[in-house]
Structure 1
């Protein structure tokens, strides 16, 4: 007869999860130490990592928790629309955390119900997690963390991690079957445009393009790193794309629900012309790191992209943005016009 941990893992495999491990909650204790190590290496990251402190001790909010169930689900099977390729990071394009139209979201809900039906008390946070996700996955044997700080499984780094706290102390670790980083490889660090990734397993999060183009970067005209954003508009995949351990891992064999239709609206020109209602109804629910009131941030990121990849057809868009009703957009447009003498 299967144990409860074996039943959970078997159900996960049936639903299409790639890996499923379960660890007692005390196995998470090293996460706080890692946070402190990060802050010691990069003191300016202290405020950023302060928001992660809640993940270091989940017992403060969930004193009944005994174990963590952690799973990975690959997303490297989806077709990337050409108009958003290299502009919007893949993890955001294929974000299944709150998109009820995806089978991954439905599997998440089915997995939680299954554990509840087994008599377990269960909690998760689909958007932001209830534990340090990569650390929990590492402890559960799901994969390894490479020098670019991402968790890698046999699917490369193109995996979402899901985790639940449960009120039963059980353990069932996966067998880790992923090779280490090639000796002496520093491609991810060499390729990082802002040098946020400055050493193995070390980064300055507030200098990361993904941070600066999503919930950070609120004053891009005064941000010198913005000149290094290249093609990025929302998020960045550069350190993952150059990684040799990701070679051949992306397959592009399936359509992601609704993405082909939405992507045509996410060209730089269409974002600058986008109205608030369309953004709130169609875009923000998918890209939730920016609020329903923050279309202006998308538009500033696009203006930054147009500055960094300037061509004559962008001139009118930049000039017209100088008359935008939003002060932040006007400020960015005026800054670019002065810089490019438009």
Structure 2
């Protein structure tokens, strides 16, 4: 490792990252093969996968780029609001990618500023990543991708990954010392609610509960997976929660900024009676996978969760939703009433 690589890695660790590695941009080329492999097993996701082929050939978009700096940060250190366990995926609860109040976000800005102070030209994309983050971290030897498709270090899979392109050819690659998945373990595959994870390392992103409760699931009354979504309102943690390699890895020591106050407003009942202005101004900026114009999706997801874990007091909320201002919510409420055989 040359001195500049070492400086970058040392700075990343100083700014709160668990690991940092650097790979040559050419090392991303074989990511295309991974996409093709998935498309062969899950042909319905081929069009979805094609959007990510650009990650394998970054120099077509960034001809100046020579290396990828990839960093790993733990989020398995925060306290999870108990009433949101099994409701909202923990990755989204502690998402710091756009949260300016988060120390993690501020550290990310400081690290990028440091790269520029070193005289490096840089580029990143904080929402979804400048490249295939798990593949880049794997190529840098920072850990491994387990059978549930999540990236793991010694801290488990409760991680955020970030990457920057830089204009110098550098390298800082580790040799991971992690044990492989237990030979006969398939808990993640067996536990996947929608069988999106059909076999180790192979999943259908269009059937994943995290997709269905955010970008997808736009016609939940007729969606074949509506029952399998269960009580999830946004995201899913099942395949990570059941993984033995995550056992005892979550160390809840810190409060995530402003989460306690916001989380007090989130439950299926509260969402169904929530003003759209509150959803747009308070909830959406935190859980931004659902766009502002689509915040009705929260209410649809709430009704679906109520149906899948019906309790008698849900009835009044579902009946009231028949008069919601959004047509999609009214349709979902009518579907729930018919399915549950509720009467006014």
TM-score interval, normalised by the smaller of the two chains: over 0.9
Aligned to 1:47: 47
Distance 2:210 2:113 in 1: 33
Contact 1:19/1:174, CA 8 A, preserved across alignment: no
1:293 counterpart SS class: helix
CA–CA distance in 2 between the matches of 1:89 and 1:155?
A: 18
Q: How does 1:20-169 map to 2 (within 5 A)?
A: 20-169=20-169
Structure 1 residue matching 2:23: 3-state secondary structure: strand
Q: Once the two structures are superposed, what CA deviation does each residue of 1:215-253 show, in whole Å capped at 9, x if it has no partner?
A: 111010111211011221100000000000000000111
For the residue of structure 2 that corresponds to 1:225, the secondary structure is coil
Q: Which residue of 2 aligns with 1:290?
A: 290
* Counterparts of 1:220 and 1:56, CA distance in 2: 34
Cα contact 2:28–2:55 (8 A) shared by 1: no
Give me the whole-angstrom Cα distance separating, in 2, the residues matched to 1:239 and 1:2.
39
Any conservation in 2 of the 1:90–1:237 contact (CA below 8 Å)? yes
Deviation at 1:54, TM superposition (A): 2.6
Counterpart Cα distance in 2 of 1:67 and 1:109: 19
Distance 1:48 1:264 in 2: 35
- Matched with 2:325 is 325
Match of 1:236 in 2: 236
Where 1:165 maps in the other structure, the secondary structure is strand
Q: What is the aligned partner in structure 2 of residue 227 from structure 1?
A: 227
Deviation track 1:77-111 (CA, whole Å, cap 9, x = no partner) reads 00001121110000000001000111110110001
Instruction: Tell me which residue corresponds to 2:204.
Output: 204
User: Does residue 1:177 correspond to 2:177, yes or no?
Assistant: yes
Distance 2:84 2:67 in 1: 39
Q: Which residue of 2 aligns with 1:259?
A: 259
Q: CA deviation at 1:2?
A: 6.6
Alpha-carbon deviation of 1:51? 2.5
Q: Which runs of 4+ in 1 moved over 6 A?
A: none
The worse-fitting range, judged by mean Cα deviation, of 56-65 and 300-309 is 56-65
Give, in whole Å, the separation in 2 of the partners of 1:81 and 1:179: 31
Asked whether the equivalents of residues 194 and 225 of structure 2 are also in contact (C-alpha less than 8 Å), the reply is: yes
Alignment RMSD: 1.1
Show CA shifts across 1:145-191 (max 9, x none): 00000000011000000000000001011231211101110000000
CA distance in 1, matches of 2:53, 2:319: 44
1:54 aligned counterpart, secondary structure? helix
Contact 1:130–1:163 (8 Å) recurs in 2:
yes
Q: Is this contact kept in 2: 1:20–1:174, CA < 8 A? A: no
* CA–CA separation in structure 1 for the residues paired with 2:313 and 2:52: 43
**Which residue matches 2:10?**
10
Secondary structure of the corresponding residue to residue 217 of structure 1: coil
Q: C-alpha displacement at 1:294, in angstroms?
A: 1.4
Tell me, in whole angstroms, the C-alpha distance in 2 between the residues paired with 1:9 and 1:176: 16
Report the 3-state secondary structure (helix = DSSP H, G, I; strand = E; otherwise coil) of the residue aligned with 1:62. coil
User: Unaligned 5+ residue runs, structure 2?
Assistant: none
Deviation at 1:302, TM superposition (A): 0.5
**Contact 1:79 / 1:256 at 8 angstroms: preserved in 2?**
yes
SS in 2 for 1:329: helix
1:301-312 mapped onto 2 (5 Å cutoff): 301-312=301-312
